[in-house]
Amino acid sequence: MKANRGEDRRNPVRLRTVTTLFDAHSHLSDAGPPHADHPRVLCGTCEADWEAVLAHAAADGRAIPMLGLHPWFVETAAPGWAQRLEALLRSHPAGIGECGLDFARQETNRGAQEAALRTQLRLARDLHRPIALHGVRAWGRLVELLREEGAPPTAMVHAFSGSPETARVLQAMGVFLSFSGDLLDPHRSRLREALRAVDARHLLLETDGSADLAHVVAAAADIRGVGADDLAAQTWENGQRCFKERLA
């Protein structure tokens, strides 16, 4: 999850096999649920939107629901949130997330974020659910917590913005890495280098609720030197392995 940015308003990219698109991370917008004609992972960020995510997924079989407590909302979460989250997860085929660590703000309560992340990592492991992770200026600590707690059966980091070295470390732990519309920025050279460091079977692509997925696929394919349709098919297959097979 990130602050809204302007949409890419260039002409839409046409892929021959549009049905293979898979959006690994999206959100409910203020105006209602996002519109898409392809499978997408729909993440909750706080208790206030968990029921809405579940309702949308129940009405639209293309949406894969995820329920979690985002680091931005840890300090305002009501007591008992973890128990209520577990109850919803036990009664619905949903994954966990968006959750993680965000140390961008100096006043952030890092201890509270870490405790909330540990709770959700344990839920993912105990319930055998996929988990969607958020990381900002906290890559070293995120890796440490994954090592301490043990990576859940299926984990992905959304909107990856770490170094190529961090990408390699996370892949070695079996973590999927998802890249967002930030790839469209030609000045993000380190991000593009990180994309090239990801093994094809660990790669996912996403809108994060604001980018055009076809543009993201085309940009990623160009950076990796592969065909856009081939990359779309690969990330669709990866999305099935990461999410749908675990929630079947």
Please report, for the domain that includes residue 149, its CATH number.
Answer: 3.20.20.140
Reported as a single tens digit per residue, the pLDDT across 154-180 is 999 999 999 999 999 999 999 999 999
Domain with 32 in it = 20-247
Q: How many domains does the chain have?
A: 1
- The Cβ of residue 168 has, within 10 Å, a number of other Cβ atoms equal to 14
Pick out the chain residues at pLDDT < 50.
Answer: 3-15, 17-18, 30-31
Asked whether residue 7 is assigned to any structural domain, the reply reads: no
The DSSP code sequence of 6-37 is PPP-SPPPPPTTGGG--EEEE--BTTBSPP-S
pLDDT at 246: 78
Asked whether residue 15 is assigned to any structural domain, the reply reads: no
Asked whether residue 241 is assigned to any structural domain, the reply reads: yes
Asked whether residue 5 is assigned to any structural domain, the reply reads: no
Asked whether residue 10 is assigned to any structural domain, the reply reads: no
**What are the C-alpha distances in Å from 136 to residues 71, 101, 114, 171, 234?**
10, 7, 13, 18, 27
- The Cβ of residue 18 has, within 10 Å, a number of other Cβ atoms equal to 15
Asked whether residue 8 is assigned to any structural domain, the reply reads: no
User: Phi, psi at residue 40, to the nearest 5°?
Assistant: -150, 145
Round to whole Å and give the CA distance between 178 and 202.
Answer: 8
Asked whether residue 1 is assigned to any structural domain, the reply reads: no
Asked whether residue 224 is assigned to any structural domain, the reply reads: yes
